[in-house]
């Protein structure tokens, strides 16, 4: 007698669970990851919107309102604040002309910020190159020395520069004792003093990005250029500078942007006589009691900074495209 076949019929076998045809699990996982990432960054985004964008929106609204008699604003639409940024109306015959005082402050701010950036490049580039060429175990010590000024308050560092360049300061005293000058050189309360102070304050912001780029530099390329009889200048211009360009641009932005809005350094070293944009904005919200003008100047400064950042992003994107 043949053994009875107890195996289930083919139609009774449970079919395995099949995914719907065309389901893209990679896309689903990516969307889920995006939602998780958005949930993680939401607190930081909320702080940025409320803490950073909020005051900027307030300034933008104030710039289109009328000025109050004793400060504050009157909730009436007015473009007088923006008008006074670059123009002024004569108090006798109502003729319109350029606001020479504001334009001179704009020019001083831009020129001093640019010169300070150039000086930081001149002093910061060899400093970063020196640190990058030290043995690895010594680089941390040199970077530590570069960051020491950040341990001290900005106001204290500014007063330290003031003590060095004032009429009875270190420089004038040394020059007079050496017999090189008969009377002190007036350095304090000048554009030179402001430029020197900002260079001292913001120099580390140039050194650190340059060092970050130079640390990744393959110095075998420098040696190869020397082997091919390239001069030092050609090696610098055609090998080193193109490779460290991202760090150079980043450092320039980190120096130029805060220099435009500097307040403490021009206030102390300029003595209130050599105003920059930050001082002019504070003056309008304080003694000037012209809040719409101060708000318009603040937004103008923001626009200048945005232009500088756009230039940086454009150069960075071009640099990234050139390297694939």
- For residue 71, the model assigns a pLDDT of 82
- For residue 89, the model assigns a pLDDT of 84
**pLDDT at residue 25 is higher than 80:** no
- For residue 13, the model assigns a pLDDT of 46
Dihedral over Cα of 256, 262, 67, 91: its sign: negative
Angle between the N-to-C axes of helices 136-147 and 191-215, in degrees from 0 to 180, rounded to the nearest 10 = 160
**pLDDT at residue 72 is higher than 90:** no
By CB atoms closer than 10 A (0-12, 13-18, 19+), residue 10 is: exposed
Please indicate whether residue 171 or residue 91 has the higher confidence score (pLDDT): 171
In whole angstroms, what is the distance from residue 203 CA to residue 146 CA? 9
Instruction: Check: pTM over 0.85? Answer yes or no.
Output: no
In whole angstroms, what is the distance from residue 196 CA to residue 262 CA? 13
Query: 43-58: per-residue pLDDT in tens?
Result: 888 888 888 788 889 9
Look at 11-15, 119-123, 203-207, 264-268 and tell me which has the smallest mean pLDDT: 11-15
In whole angstroms, what is the distance from residue 139 CA to residue 317 CA? 30
Residue 30 pLDDT level (bands cut at 50, 70, 90)? confident
Which of 270, 76, 311 is CA-nearest to residue 188?
270
Please indicate whether residue 15 or residue 270 has the higher confidence score (pLDDT): 270
Which of 104, 55, 158 is CA-nearest to residue 277?
104
Segment 292-304 mean pLDDT = 92
Name the average pLDDT for the chain: 86
**pLDDT at residue 9 is higher than 60:** no
Residue 16 pLDDT level (bands cut at 50, 70, 90)? very low
Residue 124 pLDDT level (bands cut at 50, 70, 90)? very high
- For residue 1, the model assigns a pLDDT of 45
In whole angstroms, what is the distance from residue 113 CA to residue 105 CA? 12
Query: In the 3-class helix/strand/coil scheme, how is the chain assigned residue by residue?
Result: CCCCCCCCCHHHCCCCCCCCCCCCHHHHHHHHHHHHHHHHHHHHHHHHHHHHHHHHHHHHHHCCEEECECECEEEEECCHHHHHHHEEECCCCCCEEECHHHHHHHHHHHHHHHHHHHHHHHHHHHHHHHHHCCCHHHHHHHHHHHHHHHHCCHHHHHHHHHHHHCCCCHHHHHHHHCCCCCCCCCCCCCHHHHHHHHHHHHHHHHHHHHHHHHHCCCHHHHHHHHHCCCCHHHHHHHHHHHHCHHHHHHHHHHHHHHHHCCCHHHHHHCCCCCCCHHHHHHHHHCCCCCHHHHHHHHHHHHHHHHHHHHHHHHHHHHHHHHCC
Segment 299-313 mean pLDDT = 85
In whole angstroms, what is the distance from residue 189 CA to residue 165 CA? 10
Q: Which residues of 260-284 are buried (b: 16+ CB within 10 A; e: fewer)?
A: bbbbbbbbbbbeeebbbbbbbbbbb
Which residues, in sequence order, are bridge partners of residue 77? 65
In whole angstroms, what is the distance from residue 278 CA to residue 275 CA? 8
Residue 237 pLDDT level (bands cut at 50, 70, 90)? confident
- For residue 15, the model assigns a pLDDT of 46
Segment 75-102 mean pLDDT = 88
Which of 85, 6, 153 is CA-nearest to residue 290?
85
Please indicate whether residue 214 or residue 317 has the higher confidence score (pLDDT): 214
Domains of the chain: 106-289 (1.10.3720.10)
**pLDDT at residue 17 is higher than 60:** no
- For residue 4, the model assigns a pLDDT of 52
Query: 172-214: per-residue pLDDT in tens?
Result: 999 999 988 889 999 999 999 999 999 999 999 999 999 999 9
Look at 22-31, 195-204, 269-278 and tell me which has the smallest mean pLDDT: 22-31
**167 phi/psi in degrees, rounded to 5:** -60, -35
- For residue 251, how many other CB atoms are within 10 A of its CB? 29
Contacts of 213 by beta carbon, 8 Å cutoff, 6+ apart? 243, 244, 245, 246, 247, 248
Share of the chain above pLDDT 70, in %: 90
Segment 50-69 mean pLDDT = 89
């Amino acid at each position: 007698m043949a053994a009875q076949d107890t195996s289930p019929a083919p139609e009774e076998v449970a079919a395995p669970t099949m995914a719907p045809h065309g389901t893209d699990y990679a896309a689903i996982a990516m969307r889920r990851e995006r939602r998780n990432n958005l949930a993680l960054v939401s607190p930081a985004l909320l702080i940025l919107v409320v803490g950073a964008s909020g005051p900027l929106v307030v300034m933008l609204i104030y710039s289109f309102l009328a000025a109050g008699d004793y400060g504050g604003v009157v909730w009436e639409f007015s473009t007088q604040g923006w008008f006074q940024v670059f123009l002024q109306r004569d108090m006798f015959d109502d003729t319109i002309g350029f606001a020479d005082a504001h334009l001179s402050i704009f020019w001083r701010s831009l020129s001093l910020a640019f010169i300070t950036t150039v000086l930081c490049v001149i002093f910061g580039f060899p400093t970063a190159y020196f640190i990058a060429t030290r043995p690895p175990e010594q680089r941390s010590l040199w970077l530590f020395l570069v960051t020491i000024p950040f341990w001290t308050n900005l106001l204290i560092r500014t007063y330290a520069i003031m003590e060095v360049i004032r009429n009875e300061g270190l420089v004038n005293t040394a020059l007079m004792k050496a017999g090189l000058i008969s009377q002190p050189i007036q350095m304090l309360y000048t554009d030179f003093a402001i430029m020197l102070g900002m260079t001292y304050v913001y120099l580390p912001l140039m050194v650190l990005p340059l060092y970050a780029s130079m640390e990744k530099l393959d110095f075998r390329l420098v040696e190869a250029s020397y082997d091919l009889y390239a001069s030092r200048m050609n090696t610098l211009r055609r090998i080193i500078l193109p490779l460290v360009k991202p760090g150079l641009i980043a450092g320039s932005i980190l120096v130029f942007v805060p220099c435009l809005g500097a307040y403490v350094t021009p206030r102390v070293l300029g003595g209130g006589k050599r105003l920059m944009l930050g001082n002019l904005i504070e003056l309008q919200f304080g003694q000037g009691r012209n809040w719409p003008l101060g708000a318009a100047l603040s937004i103008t400064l923001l626009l200048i900074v945005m232009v500088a950042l756009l230039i940086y992003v454009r150069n960075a994107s071009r640099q990234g495209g050139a390297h694939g």
